[in-house]
Amino acid sequence: MKYVNEFRDGKKAEQLAKLIATEAKPEREYRLMEFCGGHTHTIFRYGIDDLLPSNIKMLHGPGCPVCVLPMKRIDAAIELALSPNNILCSYGDMLRIPGRARMSLQKAKSKGADVRMIYSPAEVITIAENEPDKKIIFFAVGFETTTPPTAVVLDQAIKSGLKNLFVFCNHVLTPPAITGILEPAKQKNITLLDGLIGPGHVSVVTGTLPYEKLANTYQTPITITGFEPLDILQSIYMLIKQINAGTCRVENQYTRAVNIQGNTKAQALMSKYFELRDSFEWRGLGEMPYSAIKIKSKYAHLDAEKHFTLVERTGTDNKACECPAVLTGQKSPTACKLFNNPCTPENPLGSCMVSSEGACAAYYTYRRNIKIKNVDSTNNQLRSANKHAS
């Protein structure tokens, strides 16, 4: 498939892997973090770490919007969904996230809640128009990538004069999350990371400028990176070169989608409808100042938090859960005592096991325990058999 196959080419991967192996100095370790859950997913799905020398360690960051949403916000969404006159619209991967007492939106649905899985926020407008007697709540979640579509929902709701549509805003921001990881390490004077694989789709919206200050303050090279496996390999190569040269620049690997300024139209729409929150809790990372946005008070009539009385419950994560350490790159998922038993994607106890983009779920789904011999010879034989038969 055009624009996809080119970025998944095994031969090019082999060439890049050789370049990386040549560039990486064997006497040292390189600790690289991919910020986005999408990157984590790609790394595991394509087995990218099998192509890297053993002294390049990939750490998995907090850029999984589903994973970092605190339990109390899930509980609030469930409560909104269970109210008889409401319809709650949600992206698919939020449905199974456990809240308090193992409840989820999917379970709420089986108890009679009207929960609609949407593929595009535009559907929320259609549902609101078709169900004038119901209150439609859009469970808006995600980083800067999914924020502009939520702004469009608000914009369209106003333009069409919809009185029954509300947005439950849970959008969070990327730069504060990067600060949240790098600042504690800086204060303790330790080097947590040697380089950061920076967000791709987020940067389509924000541009590369917001990362300049971070690279400088934390003396960490950042490469804005696409989500195809070759993007990630190339980005690793670019980071290794910067680390060896001792530079800490922001580089843009994802030039086919990202520029310096970002999408200014989307930014304008976001500024029109949203403002910074003083503080927001992140699952696994705790309260972080100015790390999320809320709907401006001018548009309070569309804000689910203002229209409905939401009871803030304090659901807490399992104490043995190592998600905070996993999300900040301090521990590998398999180092958690709960991993695989009892914490699994069917029974997630921590935030990183809940979404397919979470590091623990990716480990569980794709890696668990791979020790297989003679893979190459088996597959070479297969290729020749298929070729022979065609």
Q: Taking the CA atoms of the chain, what radius of gyration do you get in angstroms?
A: 22
Looking at the Cβ atoms of 221 and 229, the one nearer to other proteins is: 229
Smallest gap, in angstroms, from Cβ of residue 209 to other proteins?
Answer: 21
Measured from the CB atom, the residue of 229 and 262 that comes closer to other proteins is 229
Closest CA to 294 of 317, 278, 309: 278
Q: For residue 62, which of 281, 342, 349, 229 has the smallest C-alpha distance?
A: 281
Q: Which is nearer to other proteins, 159 or 383 (CB)?
A: 383
What is the nearest approach in angstroms of other proteins to the Cβ of residue 36? 8
Identify which of residues 312 and 376 has a Cβ nearer to other proteins in the complex.
Answer: 376
Cβ atoms within 10 Å, residue 365: 16
* Minimum CB–partner distance for residue 95 and other proteins (Å): 6
Give the phi and the psi of residue 386 in degrees, each rounded to 5.
Answer: -65, -40
In the complex, the smallest distance separating the C-beta of residue 249 from other proteins, rounded to whole angstroms, is 26
Residues that bind other proteins (CB under 8 A): 1, 4, 8, 10, 13-14, 17, 38, 41, 44-51, 65-66, 91-96, 117-120, 123, 141-143, 145-146, 201, 229, 345-346, 355-357, 364-370, 372, 375-376, 378-379, 381-383, 385-386, 388-390
Q: Locate all alpha helices (DSSP H) within the chain, ordered by sequence.
A: 10-23, 37-45, 65-68, 71-82, 105-110, 122-130, 147-159, 174-187, 201-206, 210-217, 229-245, 264-273, 304-307, 323-327, 359-366, 375-389
CB of 369 to other proteins, least distance (A): 6
328: its two tokens: 């900040």
- Residue with smaller CB distance to other proteins, 27 or 376: 376
Q: What is the smallest separation between the CB atom of 345 and other proteins, expressed in angstroms?
A: 6
Task: Report the distance separating Cα 135 and Cα 127, nearest Å.
Answer: 10
Specify the residue, 17 or 178, whose C-beta has the smaller distance to other proteins: 17
To the nearest 10 degrees (0 to 180), the angle between helices 174-187 and 210-217 is 10
Minimum CB separation of residue 129 from other proteins in Å reads 14
**Distance spanning both ends of the chain, measured CA to CA:** 21
CA distance 167 to 23: 49
The Cα–Cα gap between 132 and 113 comes to 18
Q: Which is nearer to other proteins, 70 or 221 (CB)?
A: 70
Q: How far apart are CA 305 and CA 79, in angstroms?
A: 12
Which sign, positive or negative, has the C-alpha torsion 289, 193, 341, 36?
positive
**Residue 259 CB, nearest distance to other proteins (Å)?**
19
Cβ(281)–Cβ(292) below 8 Å? no
- Half-sphere exposure of residue 251, counting CA atoms within 13 Å on the CB side? 21
> Closest CB to other proteins among 335 and 385?
385
Nearer to other proteins, 341 or 369 (CB): 369
CB of 245 to other proteins, least distance (A): 27
